[in-house]
Amino acid sequence: MDTPSLHPSLHPLIPGQKLAGDWFNGSVPGNIVVGPGTMINSSACFKEYRARGAVGLQIGEHVTIWGASLCPEAEAIIEIGDYSYIAHASLACTSRITLGKRVFVSGGVTITDCDFHPLAAAARMFDSIAISPVGDRSRRPFMEARPVTIGDDVWIGYNATILKGVHIGSGAVIAPCAVVTGDIKPNTVASGNPIWHG
């Protein structure tokens, strides 16, 4: 039995189910684990969901996902802790992205554990051909992925970017528009583009 929503635009997140009244004609993936009380506004959040493992997304209790883009690749997993709120953010993952409990992710935020393209010019050209409509995606060059870990009670401000291999300590605040390329200590306020890690 579906749990009624206290907010008319939010729906209980149930693995493998369609959302009643969803404007997007999609389904929630079956390979997710969801705690009680977790809500989502639309299955459009899974438009780029490609995880093929037993679990591609693990979400705790009483999480709210609003207009986010959850994009784990075939072998990846995204973990979101209890009482977190993800609003209009993008989580793009080829290995692992882990958010702790009570993490607030603001609109326009990007969290990624990979560059998703090579850095060298010749390799970028080769990759562009491989992902084109006439290309062969299996021939894409190797791209390094390093897990991203975000501790409990972190707030990530509007349009911030968290890049591969970053660890953000519990209680940290990431300022709007910050670009995080290295670790952030717990209970600190970090700002800058990019943030200086001296």
pLDDT one-digit tens code per residue, 63-119 = 999 999 999 999 999 999 999 999 999 999 999 999 999 999 999 999 999 988 777
Confidence of residue 135 (pLDDT cuts 50, 70, 90): confident
Chain mean position to CA 43: 15
Contact 67, 49 (CB under 8 A): no
Rounded CA-CA distance 54/86 in Å is: 23
Six-digit token pair at 8? 């008319």
Is pLDDT at 130 greater than 90 in this prediction?
no
Is pLDDT at 6 greater than 60 in this prediction?
no
The residue from 11, 117, 167, 197 that is catalytic is 117
Rounded CA-CA distance 110/121 in Å is: 24
| Region 115-133 average pLDDT | 81
Would you call 117 a catalytic residue per the annotation? yes
Confidence of residue 197 (pLDDT cuts 50, 70, 90): low
Task: State the pLDDT at residue 1.
Answer: 41
- Predicted TM-score of the model (pTM): 0.89
Decide which of 195 and 37 is more confident.
Answer: 37
All domains in the chain, ordered by first residue: 11-116+145-183 (2.160.10.10)
Coil vs helix vs strand at 46: helix
Any idea of the CA torsion for 77, 78, 82, 88, to the nearest 10 degrees? -160
